[in-house]
Amino acid sequence: MIDSRLQLALDGGGLDLPAEGTIAVFQPPRDADLPGLDKDRVQIIHDFKPDYDAWTARGYDVVRTVKDRYAACIVCLPRAKAEARVLIAKACEVSDGVVVIDGQKTDGVDSILREMRARVTIQGPISKAHGKMFWISDPAADFFVDWAQGPSLTEGGFWTAPGVFSADGVDLASALLVDALPEKLGAQVADLGAGWGFLSAHVLTRPAVEKLYLVEAGHLALECARRNVADDRAEFLWEDATTWQAPHRLDAVVMNPPFHTGRAAEPQIGQAFVTAAARMLSAQGKLWMVANRHLPYEAELKTRFAHVEEIGGDARFKLFHAARPLRKRR
């Protein structure tokens, strides 16, 4: 956890943060305490809606993207290396002082440290709690300019970006679900966890669809979806799909729900998606869902829907069709 390493770095570890000015903290874990940092001087940068909301509820100033220059920057490494490089490049671009990098070994901090040491002078590192923290005292915007990336086109003609799910191309599970979707889905449809819009683009090939809600917690993914889904019937919503309230009952939900925020599988996330889908569907509404075969979603589906069937898949993925949501059962 960043907290123990930050405390060590500040208490004799050699890290000196500026006494004045705003300190940007890129993508910190929502349960971090950030010891040694004055809340009034911190700006959290997070584009993942649940974390954005959690930091806001704790009284922090939170933004989706950098707004200004900063006295110092702290980058909490994400799992995706390409995204980590982008964040580091951005921090070096906007910081007038030290740039601190923190991450777990499981998130590739050792690899990033080696790459950065080949270019710049590194101070630290502080090693604790299965992770490392190190810093650059005098960053420059051009140190890592080649790491800066924005949205780009895949070979399939879709816009994606570093850190977005399935950034390199079409996800195989979503492709399976697209092939299984019926021609008639209904007029009012939601794509929960829409990502960069692959499922939605195919849903909108159905002329009977009048409205499609793309619900996505990752703001960058949603921006990519805006480029990939150029249709007036689409509404783009930066929301947590598990808590979003549909404006009315829906005819269909399609989804390829996420199943982790860290390395380990967290099936409760997908189960929460199932619960949300049942809540927003009409009495005759239908759910179309794909999931990794090893994930235990069947029990939750049968708790929430009167009709559940597995409609195909392959060795890695399973496809479900569920209908007639049950309102009173828990």
Q: Are residues 129 and 175 in the same domain?
A: no
Structural domain boundaries, residue 67: 2-147
Whether residue 252 is contained in a domain is answered as yes
| CA–CA distances in Å: residue 308 to residues 203, 223, 284, 299 | 21, 33, 13, 10
pLDDT given at position 265: 52
* CATH number reported for the structural domain that contains residue 48 in this entry: 3.40.50.150
The DSSP result for 227-293, as a single string, is HH---TTEEEEES-TTT---SS-EEEEEE-----SSSS--HHHHHHHHHHHHHHEEEEEEEEEEEET
Phi, psi of 87 (to 5 degrees): -65, -40
Phi, psi of 177 (to 5 degrees): -65, -40
What amino acid is encoded at 135 in this protein? W
Query: CA 47, CA 219: separation in Å to the nearest integer?
Result: 5
pLDDT given at position 141: 79
Q: Are residues 133 and 164 in the same domain?
A: no
Phi, psi of 114 (to 5 degrees): -60, -45
Q: Are residues 176 and 318 in the same domain?
A: yes
Whether residue 167 is contained in a domain is answered as yes
Q: What tokens appear for 325 in the block?
A: 């949501």
Q: Are residues 240 and 277 in the same domain?
A: yes
Whether residue 139 is contained in a domain is answered as yes
Query: CA 8, CA 35: separation in Å to the nearest integer?
Result: 10
Whether residue 209 is contained in a domain is answered as yes
Which pTM does this prediction carry? 0.92
pLDDT given at position 172: 94
Q: Are residues 220 and 104 in the same domain?
A: no
Write down which residue in 147, 175, 210 finishes a domain.
147
DSSP 106: G
pLDDT beyond 90 at 285: yes
Q: Are 238 and 217 in contact (CB under 8 A)?
A: yes
Write down which residue in 130, 147, 164 finishes a domain.
147
Q: What is the mean pLDDT of the chain?
A: 94
- The 3 state secondary structure assigned to 219-231 is HHHHHHHHHHCCC
Mean pLDDT of 40-45: 97
Write down which residue in 131, 147, 163 finishes a domain.
147
Mean pLDDT of 135-146: 90
Q: Are residues 29 and 116 in the same domain?
A: yes
Whether residue 263 is contained in a domain is answered as yes
Q: Are residues 181 and 124 in the same domain?
A: no
Q: Are residues 179 and 251 in the same domain?
A: yes
Whether residue 208 is contained in a domain is answered as yes
Q: Are residues 159 and 137 in the same domain?
A: no
Q: Are residues 193 and 253 in the same domain?
A: yes
Query: CA 39, CA 318: separation in Å to the nearest integer?
Result: 46
pLDDT given at position 67: 83
SS3 216: strand
DSSP 90: H
- 151 band by pLDDT with thresholds 50, 70 and 90: confident
Whether residue 330 is contained in a domain is answered as no
Q: Are residues 169 and 89 in the same domain?
A: no
Q: Are residues 74 and 143 in the same domain?
A: yes
